[in-house]
């Protein structure tokens, strides 16, 4: 398994399509590297196609939304998953019935959308520099778990991690690994980052892959996205906690042990 944490690849004043293209190209390079190493499941960070635009209130960022499953990024990632025989967890900004949602779409190794389902973010915040509720509406799909070729996968997006109820629901629904694609900066969350996901893992008997982006994003610079992506198991063993640079974080998978 792998996680990808990245810094923003594009100036924020470029046309939105160019911002997305440059960020997608950067991630495709890391996906190709992972495929050469035989990685089976890979997850990217929250809204990986753009900077964390929730730092400002500008309607131009609505142009970043895509339909699921017919949007260009999802179609591309389905082809990439098929080419590499890999499961990809693709956190993307979705337009659904004129609502904007942040959600995950999974592509299995045959390039299909897993089970025809998606997992949507349930909780957002709205405070200076983190204006999630300006852009995102709560999802209404519950906490599905996806049967893939390699594991039963759940997704718990960013701010959701502060709430144990959804994490518990993913466990009850049979998740073996839960990915938490995020965008969070130094301060109080950095302390919580090290304890919340391991707590979910031990309480619910599954592995967790926690992903955070990296770097300072201008012109807003709301703080440092500190990375520190990692995997942990149900016994709170942490595998390969990353630093603060762009790259991939690897982990291993074995059966959950809770004894």
pLDDT tens-place string over residues 112-164 = 554 345 777 777 776 777 777 778 887 878 899 999 999 999 999 998 999 99
Catalytic residue among 43, 105, 158, 232: 158
For the ranges 6-10, 35-39, 57-61, 131-135, the lowest mean pLDDT is seen at: 131-135
More confident residue, 250 or 17: 17
Cα separation of the two ends of the chain? 24
- Among 187, 178, 235, 185, smallest CA distance to 210 is for 178
| CA nearest to 112, candidates 90, 82, 151, 92 | 82
Of 86-90, 93-97, 111-115, 213-217, the least confident:
111-115
H or E stretch at 232: strand 230-232
Instruction: Please give the sequence-ordered ranges of beta strands (E in DSSP) within 13-160, or none if there are none.
Output: 41-43, 87-96, 99-107, 113-120, 126-127, 130-131, 145-147, 152-155
Of the residues 6, 94, 121, 217, only one is catalytic, namely 121
Residue 158 falls in the annotated catalytic set: yes
Please report the pLDDT score of residue 104 as a whole number. Answer: 61
Q: How confident is the model at residue 173 (pLDDT cuts 50, 70, 90)?
A: very high
pLDDT band of residue 213 (cuts 50, 70, 90) is very high
Rounded Cα–Cα distance for residues 239 and 249 (Å): 9
Provide the whole-model pTM. Answer: 0.88
Indicate if 217 belongs to the active site: no
Cβ neighbour number for residue 235 with a 10 Å cutoff: 13
* Each residue's pLDDT tens digit, 50-63: 999 999 999 999 99
pLDDT at 106 over 70: no
- What pLDDT is recorded for position 211? 95
Active site residue 121: yes
d(CA 252, CA 207): 10
């Amino acid at each position: 398994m792998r996680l990808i944490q990245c810094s923003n690849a594009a100036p924020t004043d470029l046309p939105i399509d160019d911002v997305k293209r440059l960020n997608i190209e950067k991630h495709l390079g890391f996906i190709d590297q992972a495929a050469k190493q035989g990685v089976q499941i890979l997850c990217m960070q929250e809204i990986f196609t753009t900077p964390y635009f929730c730092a400002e209130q500008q309607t131009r960022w609505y142009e970043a939304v895509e339909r699921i499953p017919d949007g260009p990024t999802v179609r591309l990632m389905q082809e990439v998953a098929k080419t590499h025989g890999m499961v990809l967890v693709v956190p993307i900004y979705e337009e659904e019935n004129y609502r904007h949602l942040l959600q995950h779409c999974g592509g299995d190794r045959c390039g299909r959308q897993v089970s025809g389902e998606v997992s949507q973010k349930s909780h957002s915040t709205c405070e200076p520099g983190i204006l999630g509720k300006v852009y995102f509406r709560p999802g209404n799909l519950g906490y599905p778990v996806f049967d893939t070729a390699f594991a039963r996968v759940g997704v718990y997006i960013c701010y959701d991690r502060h709430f144990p109820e959804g994490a518990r629901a993913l466990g009850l629904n049979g998740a073996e690994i839960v990915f938490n694609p995020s965008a969070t900066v130094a301060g109080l969350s950095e302390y919580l980052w090290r304890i919340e996901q391991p707590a979910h893992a031990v309480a619910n008997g599954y592995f967790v892959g926690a992903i955070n982006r990296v770097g300072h994003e201008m012109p807003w610079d709301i703080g440092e996205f500190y990375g520190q992506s990692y995997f942990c198991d149900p016994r709170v063993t942490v595998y390969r906690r990353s630093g603060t640079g762009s790259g991939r974080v690897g982990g291993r998978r074995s059966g959950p042990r809770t004894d």
